[in-house]
Structure 1
């Protein structure tokens, strides 16, 4: 039996469109993904991003749940640096009550890493020294590109403004492992203090969403997931350079839990599929310009049309900004993309694959997921 396929959706805002259209497209894609046979439908959490409408996963999942009936629904991922464990548990326990046995609670350190990076810069009083670029390598058929440095983004005033707006004044994010433990406690018998007082979330106590950890490196996220016996999702589509490090660190840290006897890994990939290579390349052509907008510091722009992408004059610096993401995007016919995904699955040892696809043409995006499901799932 092939590894299950799932979807990660950012609710992309398209050039010439708006957030309303993006969210309606998400509901349409979720309904169709269920009929195609996808196992899960996850939505992202992004803030202050002109080209992404998925800013509040809990709210969006409630709407998707009402529009579907079977497919599992989840967050990819809740940014724990911006919310308390209680807030997270109340949202996802409510979803679990409304849509029982269908909810995944994916947790990530994104918000915490932002705050930590800004603090490190303040302590240094200067920009961090860039690391020398590594060389690309191919591991058993899978491209592992050089790592991309986000230091120039972290040092920008824009990041500092966003960090201020995403947290209450003076608030500090606790240790990620402690937050994961408190979420587990609130989903269980509650949080108890030294005097025996117990705080129980309502809804919350007794809820049974599947808790996942998402990570882009072999750092704390992978280690917390392993140590707590939770399933782990590694990001090849965001940080392809570190995917092998991430899954290795998770497996090394893994300890069996009530939920999992052995490690369970899902790996993401950015994919565009069409009936032939030319169509696939056409629909994927806006991706480079979109990634450039993120990495140049302005935030993701509304996803460009192929014509807008073709009009952009690429400099050597532009190409360097996006090379790792373009080189690891799987674009082509169903057969070709399925072979690439099978290589990703084999090399990483993934138990599941998480597919993200963005095209300017919504019908082409839906068709991409349909063609892939037919080829992969049969």
Structure 2
């Protein structure tokens, strides 16, 4: 049985507020903790009207205060946006607040466009090509490596679990070389999943942090007590993807009955492709979908991505998922 974790984009809904989204994030984390999920992840995005997780470490501090046992972390921090020392200090602080519970997933994408990247960094001296060096430097801060000439306070000696995230072969190669756990963003970028996992496992070099490969991959779930309701819930994410691909991202829209049928064939094909790793339906549908995904990929952990407009419906979807996969009584 795989472990379950959750990726929360901290969605901001039409008619909602950022304050409500952050309150929902804490409530969702408490909820999945009670269901037996292993970890809760927040992703760094910038300049996105429908996503409230830009200040990722601050959101994690908020979520940590609302929970007690579940691991919490970034899925991920986009390291090209930051000085490694700053991230060491932020996540060292989180580890001091919530010891033994902090994960630091790292990605090399900017999580934004070029204008936002420039605003974040003020210059473009740091870039994706420096990502491996920055990961090594960040690990050295946690290890209190004296060769740096600087001690991260907080940060030095922190018990932070570092991950490499990706949607291509690049991250798989780096995670294997450094002996770190690896997570793949198959919930929206499915193309290289099989090849990346194979590359990671074949090239993995044991490290002080990890003796053997450990990989996770993301999977969309829209679960409800009827198939019709689940299909309706899924339309909010479908609308959000179409808006993003057409350059008009906004706040998460409410469900739209029959939305897919209103789309031209090209848009339907796009949705079918990017959301191919999904389960939409009742508990049995979710169990079959996740079982097939695990059988195909052999992942150690399934990251549930679940962008649903209504907060209570989202919680119900996660309860059904836990019941189906972890055999929790709903």
- Using structure 2 for the length normalisation, give the TM-score: 0.94
- Provide Cα deviations, 1:238-279, integer angstroms capped at 9, x if missing partner: 211111111112112210111222100111111111112111
For 1:319 and 1:376, the matched residues in 2 are separated by 29
Q: Is residue 351 of structure 1 aligned with residue 300 of structure 2?
A: yes
CA contact (8 A) 2:76 2:106 kept: yes
CA contact (8 A) 1:286 1:309 kept: no
From 210, 218, 234, the equivalent of 1:284 is 234
For residues 255-274 of structure 1, what are the structure 2 equivalents within 5 Å?
Answer: 255-274=205-224
Which of 147, 159, 167 in structure 1 is aligned with 2:121? Answer: 167
Deviation at 1:287, TM superposition (A): 1.9
Q: Unpaired runs of 5+ in structure 1?
A: 115-158
Q: For the aligned residues, what is the CA RMSD?
A: 1.8
Distance 1:360 1:309 in 2: 16
Distance 2:44 2:60 in 1: 11
> 8 Å contact 1:289–1:309 — kept in the other structure?
no
Query: Secondary structure, in 3 states, of the residue corresponding to 2:295?
Result: helix
Any idea what SS the aligned residue of 1:269 has?
A: strand
* Displacement after TM superposition at 1:191 (Å): 5.2
User: 1:28 corresponds to which residue?
Assistant: 27
Q: Deviations over 1:142-191 (max 9, x none)?
A: xxxxxxxxxxxxxxxxx332232232124323621111110111001235
Q: Compute the displacement of 1:344 (Å).
A: 1.0
Bigger Cα displacement from structure 2, 159-168 vs 57-66: 159-168
CA deviations on 1:31-55 (whole Å, 9 max, x unpaired) are 1111111110111111110111111
Q: Secondary structure of 1:105's match?
A: strand
Which residue of the partner structure matches residue 132 of structure 2? 177
2:157 pairs with one of 189, 203, 206: 206
Q: Give runs of aligned pairs for residues 277-316 of structure 1, distance below 5 A.
A: 277-299=227-249, 301-307=250-256, 310=259, 313-316=262-265
Partner of 2:105: 106
Q: Are the aligned partners of 1:295 and 1:321 in contact in 2 as well (CA < 8 Å)? A: no
Q: TM-score, normalised to structure 1's length? A: 0.82
After superposing on structure 2, the runs of 4+ consecutive aligned residues of structure 1 that deviate more than 6 Å are none
In the other structure, the counterpart of 2:41 is: 42
**Runs (5+) with no aligned partner, structure 2:** none
TM-superposed CA distance for 1:62, in Å, is: 0.3
- Which one has the largest radius of gyration? 1
Aligned counterpart, 2:143: 188
Deviation at 1:359, TM superposition (A): 1.2
